Amino acid sequence: MQIKRISILNEFQCTGADCPVNCCRGWKVPIDDDMYRKYLLEKGIFGTILRCSIEKKEELTAFRSTLRGCPFWGFDRLCSMQKKHGTAYMPAVCIQFPRQLYNLEFFCEETLYLACPEAARLFLVSVFEERPFDFTVADEEAGYAVNTTNDDREFLDYLLQSRAELVSLLKGGVFDSLAVLDYARDAQNACLAQKPLPHPADYASDGRYLVDVNRMNTLFFNGFYHPSLRTVSPFLNRLCKKYIRQFYGLSRRDPAAADRKLARIKERLYQKIPELDCLLNRYFEYFLYTDFLDVFEDYSFSKHLLCGIARAHMLWLFFALYAENRKQVTTEELAKIIAVYERRAPQIEDALRML
């Protein structure tokens, strides 16, 4: 099997106890069926502890969340299960994270989830050093199951070509160019009508997809923000509360004033991160590497590309809220913001229908 690995994956090393937001913070830790069966059969005290730590709700089997996150996360900031029983006892998701392993049957792509602060730091270093996200290619056993039900090789090749063209489009412009959405709409329609598929390289536009305060509120309040963030992700929750305090009331009373305020905090952010536009472009580019091939499964060009644009817009908002009242923001701080944000960002999909 041909395995394509993104450059920053080859550089990745977990920072262990020094990690500011360990793997299991901010979301449920799902348990795969194989491991669940193994836990059910485990004998002795460890078996009892395991079974008491599991909750099964509808389709999700996961470890119960405690106030500190996963019940096996120790006070030394390391995984007690891994320390005592080795990786053989960990759910598949814990062994893999932050690697995103995508087996498309014809080849595999391996990338890193930016929900890991060290992965996000490597991403930022590549951005600030203007290094491309190259893929290395190796012939190896995949070692993980096929993730798709589609076997249309021609369509997959088309998506790879489109992704390369979208990345080129980004180099000459901005991530929220309407050209990206025009292409998405036409590709989606062509799929439905079974007509020849268009190419991103044929699209250009001076227009940008504007996210004013109303759209920001739509993204923020329809899935992304939830009061449970207070315990699940306190750092992200503080930034969310700041947004609500500063913008929610004002946007209802005077949307134009709220838009001006949004523009002002972005302007001040440029002073602390002059490379902001480039950073957001590269964030969208990275999103294409981790998410665009999902179109192979659901044919939803518009949903995925709009999602990338929306995610990049919300990201600068969180940077700006954090940077307020600070003289500068370090790469490590930006990486932590990206990591906590990425753990919640998939919820943004719920709001896309309303945009």
Mark the segment that binds ligand SF4 (CB under 6 A) among 100-108, 113-121, 164-172, 314-322: 113-121
Mark the segment that binds ligand SF4 (CB under 6 A) among 37-45, 116-124, 171-179, 205-213: 116-124
- Match 């993730």 to its residue by tokens: 147
**Residue 48 tokens, joined:** 């009892």
Query: By CB under 6 A, is residue 240 in contact with ligand SF4?
Result: no
Q: How far is the CB of 13 from ligand SF4 (least distance, A)?
A: 8
**Cβ-contact 128, 89 below 8 angstroms:** no
Residues 6+ apart with CB under 8 A from 254: none
Query: By CB under 6 A, is residue 93 in contact with ligand SF4?
Result: no
Among 118, 259, 285, 349, binds ligand SF4 (CB under 6 A): 118
Among 1, 7, 19, 261, binds ligand SF4 (CB under 6 A): 19
Tell me, what amino acid is at 104?
L
DSSP 92-109: HHHHHTTEEEEE-SS-EE
**Residue 102 tokens, joined:** 């995508």
Q: State the Cα torsion 153-155-156-157 to the nearest 10°.
A: 90
Q: How far is the CB of 120 from ligand SF4 (least distance, A)?
A: 9
Q: Could you report how far apart the first and last alpha carbons of the chain are, in Å? A: 40
Query: By CB under 6 A, is residue 120 in contact with ligand SF4?
Result: no
DSSP letter (8 states) at residue 245: I
Query: By CB under 6 A, is residue 116 in contact with ligand SF4?
Result: yes
Q: What angle do CA 288, 293, 299 make, to 5 degrees?
A: 115
Q: How far is the CB of 225 from ligand SF4 (least distance, A)?
A: 22
* Closest to 331 measured CA to CA, from 287, 277, 275, 288: 275
Q: Which is nearer to ligand SF4, 113 or 158 (CB)?
A: 113
Q: Which is nearer to ligand SF4, 269 or 340 (CB)?
A: 340
Query: By CB under 6 A, is residue 22 in contact with ligand SF4?
Result: yes
Query: By CB under 6 A, is residue 329 in contact with ligand SF4?
Result: no
Which stretches of the chain bind ligand SF4, using CB under 6 A? 14-15, 19, 22-23, 97-98, 116-118
